[in-house]
A = this chain, B = another copy of it.
Amino acid sequence: MDNQVDTAKLTLEDVAQLAGVSRSTVSRVINRRANVSEEARQRVLAVIEETGYRPHPAARSLASQRSSNIGLVIPRRFHTFFSDPYFARLAEGIASACNQHSYILSLFLFYSEEDEHKLLPHISRPGLVDGLIIQSTYAADALFKKLSHSQVPFIVAGRPVQVSNFSYVDVDNSAGAFTAVQHLVQLGRQRIAIIAAPQDTTVGLDRFAGYQRALEESRLPFDQSLFAEGDLSEDGGYCCALQLLRQKPDALFVASDIMALGALRAIRETGLSVPEDIGVVAFDDLPLAAHATPPLTTIRQPIRRLGIELVNGLLDIINNGSQPPRRVIFGTELVIRGSCGARS
């Protein structure tokens, strides 16, 4: 045990000597190559166990040209997003998948344009990371272009705004929104307003599209005055709701749970009640949705799974290339609670 003290500067060579084999053999054992005699392998393994030897990551990456590192990139527009529980959950899924695959996860948050200029050249070059997971944003499109000229494989979290042949993982935002609105219609609501997510993101666009589709299908007219665009914050939801309430809607589809909290607050302050006066359906199903007053009926998306799939997808691309682009879209699920007025 105590011989682990100076373990720090133990090299392959040392292990090889102790085991009475060559560096090559030790390397093979470590990398689980087949062509090693069981006997040699056991001897090496024993020495490694005893000494607590670990290969030096830098030496490894230099020689193999792989870093076993992937980066999670959050472009500028989304800092605030990081205080959004959605993001933490995604990161969690990503991190746990990384653990599973023995990859290290590095975080790149672009706060300022300066950050981006400074970091981009580093991460878009092979060496630092083997691949990147990038949160989709409108602003991120420029980033995608630069990256697609680079050697670094990447996968996008959420459909990229401009159609291009990138690999991505997303949920079916449009279908989810459709379900949400359809549900309200089925409950007899007629004037269904929407607090949309930013329309320069695919999340925003797609959920709005689903809303519109549901109206059409129910032969309800689209009324521009029942549309408001929030910024995904609680405050945003609050402000939008105040504005929309003047139009006397009887229901509200809110494109995110967080904004829905704000909307509930606005409705409460206005003296109206949910779901009696106004039915509300949100999107995300974060843990807080169940704890809102009243509990939010919302569209559940598998955020953690999204994270895991992003990692799996990225590793697949790293190992096998991204031709054709790899795309995965998860379905959503309506979770009925108190805010919509379903009698359940």
Contacts and interface: CB of A to CB of B under 8 A. Distances in A.
A287 B83 contact: yes
Given A52-B121, A291-B262, A293-B268, A106 B109 contact: no
A307 to B, nearest CB: 11
Nearest to A107: B105
Contact of A95 (B59, B60, B107): B107
Contact of A8 (B91, B150, B293): B150
Assembly of this chain: how many copies?
A: 2
A81 B268 CA distance: 30
A41 to B, nearest CB: 20
Given A57-B127, A291-B235, A96 B109 contact: yes
Contact of A58 (B62, B85, B92): B62
A77 interface: no
A79 B92 contact: yes
Q: How large is the interface on A (under 10, 10 to 19, 20 to 34, 35 or more residues)?
A: 35 or more
Which of A79, A83, A234 has the most chain B CB atoms inside 10 A of its CB? Answer: A83
B52 A62 contact: no
Nearest to A62: B58
Interface stretch (A111-119, A134-142, A315-323, A330-338): A111-119
Contact of A291 (B84, B95, B125, B265): B265
Contacts of A265: 291, 293
A91 B99 contact: no
A89 B109 CA distance: 12
Chain A to chain B: the 9 pairs with minimum beta-carbon distance, closest first: A58-B61, A58-B62, A95-B109, A88-B88, A56-B127, A58-B58, A105-B107, A106-B106, A57-B128
Interface of A: 5, 7-8, 52, 54, 56-62, 67, 69, 79, 82-85, 87-89, 91-92, 95-96, 99, 102, 104-109, 111, 115, 118-119, 121-122, 125-128, 149-151, 234-235, 238, 261-262, 265, 268, 287-288, 291, 293
28 contacts: A8-B125, A8-B150, A52-B121, A54-B122, A57-B61, A57-B127, A57-B128, A58-B60, A58-B61, A82-B88, A82-B91, A82-B92, A83-B85, A83-B92, A83-B287, A85-B85, A87-B88, A95-B109, A99-B111, A102-B118, A104-B106, A106-B106, A234-B291, A238-B291, A261-B291, A262-B291, A265-B293, A268-B293
